[in-house]
């Protein structure tokens, strides 16, 4: 029974991704964003449970990638598409096709996942921005809009920012950028100093800024990986 538990959690990730997609295309982006958050929790938990129970399989690895492609590949592209479509002049003018550029993130997410599955360098760390981190940045945008945080609505909905963010995230997904993984083999400070510092700072940012903290948390994640880049 225990060997099936991680796969069951992975399926929960996939279910949350499917539900997120449904609500996003219905225009209920805030609800979709919360399902993305639930998918991210499930995605973290399946690996944690698999390591704790010492169970793994080729099927589990493939299932995880397939679930991630929906939750952290198709969904962020759909959110960017819908956000870009909210610009009435853009949607009605000669550039009506431009919102479809949001799905560029979906394409590069697929490339990122395929690369991860075949890159032996990524067993204990990452090369390129992980798809859940990319998706959480995108999913934070509808939440910032919903709670009208800091009057950022007009900034977030600007097509230039959304297209620039799409290009930036797509590039980071496949960049040769070494990043640490949040995988704890033990709880010793010396072995996990970077992880503990990141989690403490991230928690503080979330308490202070709520959804608006997510892009900053991902930026912090990249910056704290700079010492790791210097080691290479």
Span 1-12, pLDDT tens digits: 777 899 999 999
Residue 147's pLDDT is what? Answer: 84
Residue 230's pLDDT is what? Answer: 45
CA distance 105 to 134: 9
Of 13, 219, 30, 28, nearest in space to 140 by CA: 30
Q: What share of the chain in percent tops pLDDT 90?
A: 63
Residue 124's pLDDT is what? Answer: 73
Tokens 């299932």: give the residue.
63
Residue 148's pLDDT is what? Answer: 75
Residue by residue, DSSP assigns 16-30 as HHHHHHHHHHTT-HH
Which residues of the chain have a pLDDT value below 70?
A: 88-94, 149, 227-232
CA distance 232 to 227: 9
**In the numeric block, which tokens belong to residue 205?**
């940012």
Residue 87's pLDDT is what? Answer: 74
Residue 57's pLDDT is what? Answer: 82
Residue 91's pLDDT is what? Answer: 59
Residue 94's pLDDT is what? Answer: 62
pTM, full prediction? 0.91
Q: Give the right CATH number for 2-231 from 3.40.50, 1.20.120, 1.10.3470, 1.10.10.
A: 1.20.120
């Amino acid at each position: 029974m225990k060997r099936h538990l991680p796969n069951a959690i992975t399926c929960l990730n996939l279910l949350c991704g499917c539900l997120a997609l449904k609500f996003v295309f219905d225009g209920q982006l805030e609800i979709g964003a919360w399902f993305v958050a639930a998918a991210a929790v499930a995605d973290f938990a399946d690996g944690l449970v698999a390591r704790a129970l010492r169970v793994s399989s080729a099927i589990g690895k493939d299932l995880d990638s397939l679930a991630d492609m929906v939750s952290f590949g198709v969904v962020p592209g759909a959110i960017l598409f819908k956000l870009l479509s909210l610009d009435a002049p853009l949607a009605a003018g000669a550039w009506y096709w431009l919102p479809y550029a949001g799905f560029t993130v979906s394409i590069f997410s697929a490339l990122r996942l395929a690369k991860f599955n075949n890159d032996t360098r990524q067993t204990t760390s990452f090369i390129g921005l992980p798809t859940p981190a990319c998706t959480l940045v995108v999913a934070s945008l509808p939440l910032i809009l919903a709670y009208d945080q800091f009057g950022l609505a007009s900034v977030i909905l600007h097509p230039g920012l959304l297209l620039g963010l799409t290009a930036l995230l797509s590039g980071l997904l496949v960049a040769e950028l070494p990043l640490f993984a949040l995988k704890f083999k033990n709880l010793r400070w010396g072995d996990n100093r970077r992880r503990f510092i990141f989690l403490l700072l991230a928690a503080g940012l979330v308490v202070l800024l709520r959804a608006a903290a997510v892009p900053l948390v991902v930026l912090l994640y990249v910056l704290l990986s700079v010492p790791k880049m210097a080691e290479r």
